[in-house]
A = this chain, B = another copy of it.
Amino acid sequence: MVALGFDNPVFSQFVCYSILLILETIGIALLVIRIRVKRKVFSFPEDCSQFIVGKHHLKPTADDALIKRLRRCHLNNLENIVPFVTIGLFYVLTEPDPWTAALCFRSFLVTRVVHNIALIQALPQPTRTFSYLAGVIILCFMSLSVFQRGKM
């Protein structure tokens, strides 16, 4: 059996969870576009030219609170997807226990969803920090499993 092939159930799961994380991130980027149009909050003059307020063209403004949150959320997802996809791919190659691997992938997705909801909805802390740290612990666990196999 090829480790990096859809016949390997651990790889197949890893692929699905990676894509879900990426699609979630793209979803937030699309949400930012939608809210920018709805609230008419744009960073660049060319984005404003199609909107006329009173007799004048709209002007670029600083991001409002919600857009700031969504952009931070998007960036934070990106920061977490890069380690997950990279370490996850190496982790799959260590032929881990399928049950443990599935637990890692699922929990990581849960920590990211909780983190995003906590950030966007401004849930009371430490929900956001704890969900972030839980994700980091999962990444460290997978890194350790990989380090046991790798040689420098």
Contact = CB atoms under 8 A, between A and B. Distances in A.
Given A25-B79, A49-B125, A82-B85, 20 more contacts: A3-B5, A6-B151, A12-B150, A13-B152, A15-B150, A16-B150, A19-B86, A19-B87, A19-B146, A22-B87, A23-B140, A26-B83, A29-B79, A30-B136, A46-B122, A46-B123, A47-B125, A50-B125, A75-B75, A81-B86
**A-side binding surface: helix, strand, loop or mixed?**
helix
B79 A74 contact: yes
Given A93-B5, A146-B19, A151 B82 contact: no
Given A16-B147, A94-B6, A79 B82 contact: no
Contacts of A3: 2, 4-5
Copies of this chain: 3
